Amino acid sequence: MSNYQWKTKKEIIVENAHKDPFLKIEDLAKMAKTTSRYVRTILSESDISLMKLRKDYARKVENMNIAVKDKLFFYHLTRFPYQNNVKSILTDKLYLNNSADLSELGVNIKEDYSYYSFLHIIKDTPWSVCTLFIKKDKIIDGEILHSFNDLVDLLCYEVKESGIEISDLIIDIEIANGQIADSINITPLVPIYRVKQTLGSSDSVYAVMLAYFDTRQVSLNVSPNRGLILKKKEMAV
């Protein structure tokens, strides 16, 4: 038996307005089996504004997005410390300092995963390089190929919709190979930070994120929300 059979028209209107503020007045009237005029009267008497409820809902969703993004260290690569000055450039190269970082992807990496590498530039100077390995079935017609921000949005969407988990950050100091050193304008065999994070479940890896920084120019810390705090050393803004 539906609960609506013992609820008053007012209760039905108020409950559904809060449950889905994007319903129209006519929709609420239909649910309560009454008129649109009566719905407006009830909303006014109850001091309920559908517009305000919609704004509150949108703010709540945005806060959820921020909470997820804050845990993804890729999100911070273009937003800190010089948000307006960072450019992300998609490259046609695979930037990888140590192939052992891909061990959890299995033996069919080329068949199962696509990769994307980006250089992050501040005032024409590379300050980091990152690579994403992501399952091919998550890529639709190459839509994310041209935008690093769209790529981050896709990762956030999959985390929320698919229930996949974001791993803690793994931050190590490695010796830069020639390719990584050249990409961020440093001498080969000098120390670099390697930051790694994975998305997935107990039995499947959805994505692996890697980024590299010159230890002499960047300091790294972990935020209370397990996100990455970046600070650029000795760089004029």
**Per-residue tens of pLDDT for the chain, all 237 residues:** 445 457 899 989 999 998 888 889 999 999 999 999 999 999 999 999 988 888 877 766 665 555 677 788 888 777 655 555 677 888 888 999 998 888 888 878 888 888 889 988 877 888 889 999 988 876 554 454 567 887 888 888 788 777 788 888 899 999 999 999 999 999 999 999 999 999 988 788 889 999 999 998 888 877 766 677 777 776 444
Residues in Cβ contact with 53 at an 8 Å cutoff, skipping those fewer than 6 apart: 17, 18, 21
Provide the pLDDT for residue 4. Answer: 47
Number of alpha helices (DSSP H) and beta strands (DSSP E) in the chain: 8, 9
This model's pTM is above 0.75 = no
The Cα–Cα gap between 175 and 161 comes to: 38
209: amino acid identity, one letter: M
The Cα–Cα gap between 27 and 13 comes to: 10
Q: What is the DSSP letter of 217?
A: T
Nearest Cα to Cα of residue 78 among 150, 176, 155, 159: 150
